Amino acid sequence: MFKTLNIDTEKEDRIINAATKVFAENGYKRASTNAIVKEAGISKGILFHYFKSKKELYLSLYEHLSDMFAEKIYDRIDMEERDIFEIIRQVSVIKFELFSTYPDLINFLNSVFHEIDPEVKNEVDKIRENLTGSSFSKLFSNIDAGKFRKGIDVGKAIQVIYWTFEGFANQQQAKASSMSVADIYKEDILAELDSYTELLKKSFYK
Amino acid sequence: MFKTLNIDTEKEDRIINAATKVFAENGYKRASTNAIVKEAGISKGILFHYFKSKKELYLSLYEHLSDMFAEKIYDRIDMEERDIFEIIRQVSVIKFELFSTYPDLINFLNSVFHEIDPEVKNEVDKIRENLTGSSFSKLFSNIDAGKFRKGIDVGKAIQVIYWTFEGFANQQQAKASSMSVADIYKEDILAELDSYTELLKKSFYK
Amino acid sequence: MFKTLNIDTEKEDRIINAATKVFAENGYKRASTNAIVKEAGISKGILFHYFKSKKELYLSLYEHLSDMFAEKIYDRIDMEERDIFEIIRQVSVIKFELFSTYPDLINFLNSVFHEIDPEVKNEVDKIRENLTGSSFSKLFSNIDAGKFRKGIDVGKAIQVIYWTFEGFANQQQAKASSMSVADIYKEDILAELDSYTELLKKSFYK
Amino acid sequence: MFKTLNIDTEKEDRIINAATKVFAENGYKRASTNAIVKEAGISKGILFHYFKSKKELYLSLYEHLSDMFAEKIYDRIDMEERDIFEIIRQVSVIKFELFSTYPDLINFLNSVFHEIDPEVKNEVDKIRENLTGSSFSKLFSNIDAGKFRKGIDVGKAIQVIYWTFEGFANQQQAKASSMSVADIYKEDILAELDSYTELLKKSFYK
DNA sequence: GATGAATGAGTGTTCATTCAT
DNA sequence: CATGAATGAACACTCATTCAT
């Protein structure tokens, strides 16, 4: 399942959504297959017919959703863009939108990122390497270094920019966890994000 | 326990160390009280005599270790220092040293930071607010804004600096998880850290 | 199935072989119909189309293989022979040969013999009575009692001879389970068997 | 448990008896820990507190009961006896008595003997080697070979005697499974046993 | 005839928590 | 204070059997 296109997409979707939600809310260990089948409206047996173990379900789901996530990003991003701020801004906007549309998806990917359960940690890391190794570098491979001021180590500057946007996203998400989803995607947030962009441009660019 | 000074400090220490280790390695849900009492060499009964539930043990431990952690930082930091890079650098160095000496402590605090189990998430957040709300602002309350170039939003610049150091620390820790502890605290790391300092100083300072 | 001649003999054979193997290795309860269909390369549905339950498959298989086994014995045995040692020796040799050729068959029949699962025990016993009741007595009905020494209870002597060969066979099989099948049928074994024959002849015969 | 004397002998006994019965009636795989705890009147948890798995329970039980069984035999047997028929007769009588008193015990040991479940087969064999290796040879080490007729291979004769009594016991037990326990230990059986003794003595002894 | 997805009761095992000693 | 035996609900997973296709 997940790897090949399936006719019974509707049931597949129900499993994906249910598992995503339950894992996102509880982490690997606490998430119970009982909760997943209940949420998906399927029987215990069929879950283990598709996935031979909870672990396999978790890892398949991670791989599937990571792929899907990357795909959604690349679908909408302008690959000709060579300004790093513009690239990261586009990514941020897409992430925010995805979060509004599929909050569980993002929450699941975040929770996988920080999962420490030894039962899955190693495999998660292995999958992550395959994915991000390629995608991260692809995203930033095309940057126009000519825009940076002389004397600036461009590689490190990119890191600083990346960490800034990451930190900002985390900060927003921490705030968001106490809001309703409806309030999250706002002009205010983008405005604040842009003020960071401005600060860093003023500092790093010619 | 933990709040009041206890005569039986030796047993208290054994519990702290055992619980820290087991929670750090497994997260809240997967950590079993059996593993903790075994590691600590105490009986099941006495653990639940001191702490009325696993949850209370977890939260008390978090509060205790957070306090201890903050204390260790403040003990060694030069509170007269007004240069933000110097402050953060000091904090970073202390963190690295603590990690070498008490790896479980840092791993526990990190795992708590990312814990999503609904059974403890809310209380963890509440405790965190109490701690960081005060300590973070105290650390940075004294910053000399005069060093920043004109037109720079100092508050945001501080955030950028903070996120940079945080991102750097995470990056190092990810690398470190595949090294032996002995190899972690090295001149190389500090040198690289300093190159980020230099980059940011060049960009933000007059 | 099994009772009537079937056109699709090839599929029938695959089921027989698969079920024999899986039941032989695991006993009734532990043997799973999944393992059988997988081994046979057939679908779940068709197995339950042919046999309405696992129990029926097991009992039919037992009956079928018992019949086949008896048939193979009677096919090759000299029915004119009236010396009990010669008869039992012939049977033993045929058994050894069958075991080399169809180890699963013998292992299955042995495992059925000792099966204690209440779900099948009664029916197994009933089938066994039908078979051995007739075949055992037929085999020994023709014995030449005149060869035995006076004063010997011939019926009991036959029992002793039978138990001896049975005990010997079990002993060899226990040894054999730690050997490769290739090493089992050997002159050594027959020589040892003959030394028991000699001992009993010397003791029971005139 | 089982290895050391326990104060709570009464509960231990309930577990032993319950497990013996359930395993005896169903074999390893089919026996359910649910049935055992119900029969013993204990909770699920405490069973797994004493024995970390069903497998460990099974093997411990086998070791314990084998020991106990051997002990009961050696306690009552006359170790000075040098006549093999007398020795085997004594053992048979004790076995029959034990079977009347503790039918589950004997049934359990028999079922273990023929257990083929790969999950326990190897360990069972290992335990059996430890036990029977020593006890069987001890029992027969003292035999008076002078009583046998010249030309008789004494070692093989002993095997024949042993297999005869074993075969007889199996035959009786097969009959017994369709009788009530009350009818089993009877003069008739011993009389028949003695007629086999007589036959073999007449044949093997001077 | 033939498939294999689907069911749900059943399994062995874990675990926070209690309580008699 | 201190112990660890005891509980029972919850867990991941299995499996004979059914049935729509």
Judge whether residue D180 has pLDDT over 60: no
Identify the top-confidence range among B65-79, C35-49, C89-103.
Answer: C35-49
State the best of C23, C26, C30 to mutate against chain D, taking most chain D CBs within 10 Å.
Answer: C30
A and B touch with 3+ CB pairs <8 Å, answer yes
Please tell me the total count of domains within chain A. Answer: 1
Question: How confident is the model over A156-199, as pLDDT tens digits?
Answer: 999 999 999 989 988 887 777 665 545 555 678 888 999 999 99
In a domain, residue B43? The reply is: no
In a domain, residue C29? The reply is: no
Judge whether residue D164 has pLDDT over 80: yes
- At residue D133, the pLDDT reads 58
Chain B residues with at least one Cβ partner in A under 8 Å? 25-27, 29-30, 111, 114-119, 151-153, 156-157, 159-160, 162-164, 166-168, 195-196, 199-200, 202-204
- At residue D22, the pLDDT reads 97
State what percent of residues in chain B have pLDDT above 90: 47
Cβ separation D153–C195 shorter than 8 A: yes
CATH code at position B99 = 1.10.357
Judge whether residue D202 has pLDDT over 70: yes
Contact indicator for D27, C116 with CB cutoff of 8 Å:
yes
Cβ neighbours of B103 in A, within 8 Å? none
Alpha-helical regions (H) of chain D: 9-30, 33-40, 44-50, 54-76, 84-101, 103-114, 121-140, 154-176, 187-204
Residue B53 Cβ under 7 A from any strand E atom: yes
Q: Is B57 helix (H, G, I), strand (E, B) or coil?
A: helix
Domain interval for residue C131: 63-204
With tokens 């099994």, the residue in question is C2
Cα atoms found within 13 Å of the Cα of residue A191, Cβ hemisphere only: 3
Judge whether residue D5 has pLDDT over 60: no
- At residue D136, the pLDDT reads 66
Contact indicator for B196, A160 with CB cutoff of 8 Å:
yes
Cα atoms found within 13 Å of the Cα of residue B179, Cβ hemisphere only: 13
- At residue C1, the pLDDT reads 66
Gyration radius from chain D CA atoms = 19
Both tokens assigned to C54: 């696992």
CB under 8 Å to D160, separation ≥6 — which residues?
C160, C164, C196, C199, C200, D200
State the best of A22, A23, A29, A136 to mutate against chain B, taking most chain B CBs within 10 Å.
Answer: A29
- At residue C5, the pLDDT reads 47
- At residue A51, the pLDDT reads 93
Question: How confident is the model over C53-94, as pLDDT tens digits?
Answer: 999 999 999 999 999 898 888 888 888 888 999 998 888 888
Residues of D (28-67) placing their beta carbon closer than 7 angstroms to any atom of strand E are 31-35, 44-45, 48-49, 52-55
Specify the range with the lowest mean pLDDT, choosing from C130-144, C183-197, D191-205: C130-144
Judge whether residue A5 has pLDDT over 50: no
Task: Identify the residue with better confidence: C139 or B200.
Answer: B200
Cβ neighbours of C111 in D, within 8 Å? 116
Pick from A75, A119, A99, A92: nearest CA to A24: A99
Give the C-alpha separation, A93 to C105, whole Å: 68
The DSSP bridge partners found for residue C124 are none
Judge whether residue C181 has pLDDT over 70: no
Question: How confident is the model over D90-105, as pLDDT tens digits?
Answer: 888 888 888 888 889 9
Specify the range with the lowest mean pLDDT, choosing from A61-70, B8-17, C171-180: C171-180
State what percent of residues in chain B have pLDDT above 70: 88
Judge whether residue A122 has pLDDT over 90: yes
Give the C-alpha separation, A116 to A127, whole Å: 15
**Mean pLDDT, rounded, for B38-47:** 94
In a domain, residue B101? The reply is: yes
Give the C-alpha separation, B51 to B60, whole Å: 9
> Smallest Cβ distance to A199: which of B25, B29, B152?
B152
Query: In chain C, what is the straight-line distance between the N-terminal and C-terminal CA atoms, in Å?
Result: 51
**Mean pLDDT, rounded, for D123-128:** 92
Q: Is D73 helix (H, G, I), strand (E, B) or coil?
A: helix
**Mean pLDDT, rounded, for A42-66:** 94
In a domain, residue B156? The reply is: yes
Ramachandran assignment for D93, one of left (phi > 0), alpha (psi -120 to 50 degrees), beta (any other): alpha
**Mean pLDDT, rounded, for D47-72:** 93
In a domain, residue A120? The reply is: yes
Question: How confident is the model over B72-111, as pLDDT tens digits?
Answer: 888 888 888 889 998 888 888 888 888 888 889 989 999 9
CB under 8 Å to A186, separation ≥6 — which residues?
none
Task: Give Cα separations from D10 to C25, D14, D69 (angstroms).
Answer: 38, 6, 20
Both tokens assigned to B164: 């940079």
In a domain, residue C7? The reply is: no
State how far residue B148 is from chain A, nearest Cα, in angstroms. 11
Closest residue to E19 by CA to C1' distance? B45
Contact indicator for C95, C139 with CB cutoff of 8 Å:
no
> DSSP labels for B11-54?
HHHHHHHHHHHHHHHHHHHH--HHHHHHHHT--HHHHHHHSSSH
Cβ separation B195–A153 shorter than 8 A: yes
State how far residue B88 is from chain A, nearest Cα, in angstroms. 15
> pLDDT category, C188, cuts 50, 70, 90?
confident
- At residue C72, the pLDDT reads 87
State the best of B21, B26, B116, B192 to mutate against chain A, taking most chain A CBs within 10 Å.
Answer: B116
In a domain, residue C34? The reply is: no
Judge whether residue A58 has pLDDT over 50: yes
Judge whether residue C180 has pLDDT over 60: no
Give the C-alpha separation, B165 to B152, whole Å: 19
> pLDDT category, D135, cuts 50, 70, 90?
low
Judge whether residue B70 has pLDDT over 90: no
Task: Give Cα separations from A206 to A146, A151, A200, C114, D64 (angstroms).
Answer: 9, 11, 11, 88, 85
Judge whether residue D29 has pLDDT over 90: yes
In a domain, residue B18? The reply is: no
| Average predicted confidence (pLDDT) for chain D | 86
**Mean pLDDT, rounded, for D112-138:** 85
Chain A residues with at least one Cβ partner in B under 8 Å? 24-27, 29-30, 111, 114, 116-118, 151-153, 156-157, 159-160, 162-164, 166-168, 195-196, 199-200, 202-204
